[in-house]
Amino acid sequence: MDIKKKLRSVLNIFIIAIVVLTIAGFISYYFLVYLEPNFDDKDFNYIKTVSSNVIAPGSEIIIELSYKNTGNREVKDFTAGFHIPRYAKFQTSDQPGMYFEDKNLVVFESKNLKKNEGKKILITLLADKPLNNGMVIKFQDTDINYIVSDEKITGKIQNNLIYKIKSSPEIKISKLGIEDINGGDIRMGDEVGFKLNAENAGDMNATGVEVTAAIPPKTSIVKNSIIPYNYEISGDKLVWKLDTLEINKSVDFSYRLKVLTGFEDNEKINETVNLKTMQGDNLSAEANGEVRLFPDLSNSKISIADKNGEFLWAGDVLTVKAIIENNGERTARDIKFTCPAPQNTVYVKNSAKCDGAKISSENNMLLFEIDEIGMGEKKEAYFELQVLPKMTGGGAVKTEFKLSSNGTDFKFQNAEAKVKGNYQVTIGCLGDSLIALSSWPQILDSILESTFAHSDYNVIASGVKAEMSSGGFQRFDSSIGKYNPQIVIIGYGTNDIGSGTDKFSYYLSSIVQKAKNINATVFLESLGFIDTNKEPAKSDWQNYQKVIYQIGASYGVPVIDLYGPLSQNPEAYIADWVHYTPEGSAVVAHTIFNYVVQYLDSEGKRK
């Protein structure tokens, strides 16, 4: 066997094998590598930040996502799934994408991605609020998916971005408000209110918040006034402890202090409120109040009463007593007690008294000037007022006195007394010329007015010359009844003599009945003295006199005997045959008064 020939044959086979393998490798590379897509080139497939890696809560995070097919083959249905990290929120992107909120994922699609085709996408995120200082936001790799020759291929674009949070609370507190709850100046016993607002305007929740309010000396905290309610009192401090003061939130703090005793005038109440947090905030607010001490004359008392201790009538005298009392915290000085006489009264001259006071009177006004009244001391002022007689209609006497110390006016309770109005009594006198030509109704009015000081009488004289009882009956309603008199005095008969006793009885009875129908107390006049020598036609007068007494008895009406007193001295009392002289009118008036007065009470009212 030719060895050389054999070696040559082996060498040829080897060369052929190498050539075949080379061709096969070239074919495999061409189809398996050269003709494949490629997303591994980090120069084109990457994720990088466009913004700073140190951010504050609420800041924008701008990221560039880049992908490119650097291979030699087209892919279909390419998607890039960008994961939104924890503590961030998707805002926008400059390329269209689909945001899946449940997965917190943004997907960008390309239907066909040819060789050397790709995209650069700017994605804007927003850092959550609040985020504590030092926290980090870490990203996941972006998932890519595509199809090559009906085969689904997956891959990733690395995302090594890390953002670090730089945040802090920003605590702001308001001025410490102060208010005297009672209004005006701060005085011992008052309650003083304080208010403070704390707000977190930062980008991080404040934790371990502690607010401390001082309880100044000589004050005490009013517990039911404290807001918020989660507080504690430790010694002379009021403390609130809050777990968190969230961003964009505020808390109102308020409380009241009661001012105790022991202060000097113009002494300060210094109040301080301090706020601290675990993040190092240390803020303070202050407010100052000034305690004032004043005299207090507002509990002074005025009393007025009728001097006689009875009803107060027009013309009566009132006693006025004033107890000027200082319940304040210091001596009252330069006191002026000004007492103008109330309407419809006059000051009783030289009636004013007050120990140690300078008293002056001018224009119906009294002025008491007192140098000083110490704490807890009293002064008594006294004087008298007379109610003017014209107040017969009644009303009220109201004091409008003024009290001041060092030019400061004090409000106190003034006094009032009711003036009883005079009783109004109307008496109707119905008759003939013995009323029309006589003054006895006017005299009766005067006697009643002078006898009863608290009653005002209106005696109505309604007489018609030559009138008979029938005429009185006809005009009763229009002349007497319309006044609704309490008392009616009826005088008829002189002109009825000769007309018949039955007719006279009928009409006189009817007049009595009319008077009773208006609830009047009725009196009948008897016939007076008749000089039948001068007037013989009246000789039958006694029968008519009997009728008058019979009607009086029948109706229970008193009959006033005028005949008796007039017959005592007819020459003096009778001017002609029947009419009265002035002396006779006076006798008639007094006679009627003696009857009527029996039906009046002690004040002159009808019983």
pLDDT digits (tens, 9 = 90+) for 304-348: 999 888 789 999 999 999 999 999 889 999 999 999 999 999 999
At 33 the pLDDT is 47
Taking residues 175-184, what's their average pLDDT?
92
pTM for the model: 0.57
SS3 481: helix
pLDDT tens, residue by residue, 421-470: 999 999 999 999 999 999 999 999 999 999 998 999 999 999 999 999 99
Q: Which residue has the tokens 């996941």?
A: 140
Model confidence band, residue 34 (pLDDT cutoffs 50, 70, 90): low
Q: What distance in Å separates the CA atoms of residue 433 and residue 468, rounded to the nearest whole number?
A: 10
SS3 7: helix
Counts of helices then strands in the chain (DSSP H, E):
9, 38
Q: What distance in Å separates the CA atoms of residue 416 and residue 413, rounded to the nearest whole number?
A: 10
Average pLDDT, the chain: 93
At 32 the pLDDT is 47
Backbone angles phi, psi at 370, to 5 degrees: -120, 130
Q: Are 402 and 388 in contact (CB under 8 A)?
A: no
H/E stretch holding 362 reads strand 358-362
Query: Of 2-6, 47-51, 98-102, 146-150, which gets the smallest average pLDDT?
Result: 2-6
Taking residues 127-134, what's their average pLDDT?
89
pLDDT tens, residue by residue, 474-488: 999 999 999 999 999
Tokens of 455: 């009653």
Q: Which residue has the tokens 């009826």?
A: 490
Taking residues 374-387, what's their average pLDDT?
95
CA 250 to chain CA centroid, nearest Å = 30
Domains and CATH numbers, the chain: 46-165 (2.60.40.740), 171-291 (2.60.40.740), 301-419 (2.60.40.740), 423-599 (3.40.50.1110)
Buried b (16+ CB within 10 A) or exposed e, 479-516: bbbeeebbbbbbbbbbbbbeeebeebbebbbbbbebbe
Q: Is a pLDDT exceeding 90 seen at residue 131?
A: no
Spell out where 15-71 has E strands: 46-49, 54-55, 60-68
